[in-house]
Every structure is written in C-alpha cells, then in structure tokens.
Amino acid sequence: VNYRSGGLRLNPNLYACGKVCLSLLNTWTGSGCEMWNPSTSTMLQVLVSIQALVLNAKPYFNEPGHSMYANTPLGEKLSLAYNEETFLLSCRTMLYSLRNPPK
C-alpha cells in the first residue's frame, strides 16, 4: 500500500514518502493476527484497518509516546493543533493531486 502524499505527512501513519505504517502491512511492529499472513489476511482487512486505525478523529495519538497524553487537557490541545495543521496539509495535498494526477 502506498499513499500519494505530495511529499507531505498528514498522519503519523502516512509518511511523506508514501509509506503507510501499519502492523498488518508489516511496516510496523506487531504480533500474531496483527501481522500480514498471506493465507488468511485480506484486502478488506487492510482497508478496514486503515479506516479504523489510521483515519480516525485524533491521529495525534497514533504517534508512539503520544498516547500518554490521551484524555488530558494538554493532549486535547495538542491533538486539536495537530488536526488544524493536518487540515491545511490536506488542502495542499488535494491541490497537488489536482495539479499532478496519477497517470
């Protein structure tokens, strides 16, 4: 799985180079059923995992070490600031995609 980022990092799990960081894709640490298994894993599993684990309302807390701030006033403030920056980067990514559509 590769994300066309336009060189911008919109999420702790979506790298500027296009890499999608998720244990199911074997791009992050995981164990057992969290890892890709060619005989049992499916594309539906990948898509649902990306939707639930990556594209969530508070991606700030996806970053390792940030979960300790979850449900705290500081964490909520940092998460809101992250989302505001992500909105601006998302707009830039959309403009990039419109100007440079896939071939």
Per-residue pLDDT tens for 5-39? 788 898 999 999 989 999 899 888 888 888 998 89
> pLDDT confidence of 92, banded at 50, 70, 90?
very high
pLDDT at 66 over 90: yes
State the pTM of this model: 0.81
DSSP state, residue 68: G
Tokens 């702790």 label which residue?
12
Active site residue 17: no
pLDDT of 2 > 90? The answer is no
CA torsion through residues 102, 12, 52, 55, sign: negative
* List 17, 21, 33, 91, catalytic entry: 21
